Amino acid sequence: MFRITSEEYTRSVSEIDNLLQQNVGKRLLVRLKNNITVQGNLKNFDQHLNLTLNDGEMESKETVEQFNKMLLRGSEILIVSFSS
């Protein structure tokens, strides 16, 4: 079984926090556990990876919906991709 130390965990969390902080205001692509894809501009985030996105779209199998503001719960996020 693979285990990480508390120091490694703290460093990883800090790196994720720094990466998100550098991308506030930039476009994100987020894939959720329920196979919905969301794109939008990152407004803010918290330590639980809850994300607030602005001016984006949510795409499921059947529909594409535009939104002005959306809160994504961190526990439902599968993948986050940053635009280059």
| CATH number of the domain to which 36 belongs | 2.30.30.100
- 18 within a domain of the structure (yes/no): no
Token pair for 56: 């984006």
Q: Give the per-residue pLDDT at 17.
A: 86
Task: Please identify every stretch of the chain with a pLDDT value under 70, giving residue numbers as ranges.
Answer: 1-2, 4, 8-13, 84
- 44 within a domain of the structure (yes/no): yes
- 40 within a domain of the structure (yes/no): yes
* DSSP at 26: S
pLDDT tens string 5-23: 777 666 666 888 888 999 9
Domain residues for 46?
25-82
How would you list the strands of the sheet with 51-59, edge to edge?
Answer: 64-72, 51-59, 37-45, 27-32, 77-82
Distance from the first to the final alpha carbon of the chain: 35
Q: Give the per-residue pLDDT at 14.
A: 80
- 10 within a domain of the structure (yes/no): no
- 19 within a domain of the structure (yes/no): no
